[in-house]
Amino acid sequence: MNAVRSVISVFLLVLLGLSVAGWVWAGGQPSPQSTGARLVLALCGLMAVGSIELLWRAEPRQTI
């Protein structure tokens, strides 16, 4: 189970890194476009961090 969590966490960390790179890139855009882009990228980053937290907080189920 931890291997699956680790793979998903790596994917989410890559997604978070792309969001940060997009945030920096959006800074060079005109103001209305950068505002919208940064809003979407911030939401994406927050969801990635929240997903990692929920992924590692969950208790594994017992199988018989």
Q: Which two tokens stand for residue 50?
A: 């929240």
State yes or no: pLDDT of 12 exceeds 90.
Answer: yes
CB 54, CB 39: distance < 8 Å: no
Q: What is the largest CA-CA distance in the chain?
A: 58
Q: What is the mean pLDDT of residues 5-24?
A: 93
- % of the chain at pLDDT higher than 90: 58
**Among 9, 45, 8, 10, which Cα is nearest to 24's?**
45
- Residue 13 has a pLDDT of 95
- Residue 31 has a pLDDT of 84
Between 8 and 2, name the one with better pLDDT: 8
pTM of the model: 0.80
pLDDT digits (tens, 9 = 90+) for 34-47: 888 899 999 999 99
> CA angle at residue 38 from 33 to 39, to 5 degrees?
100
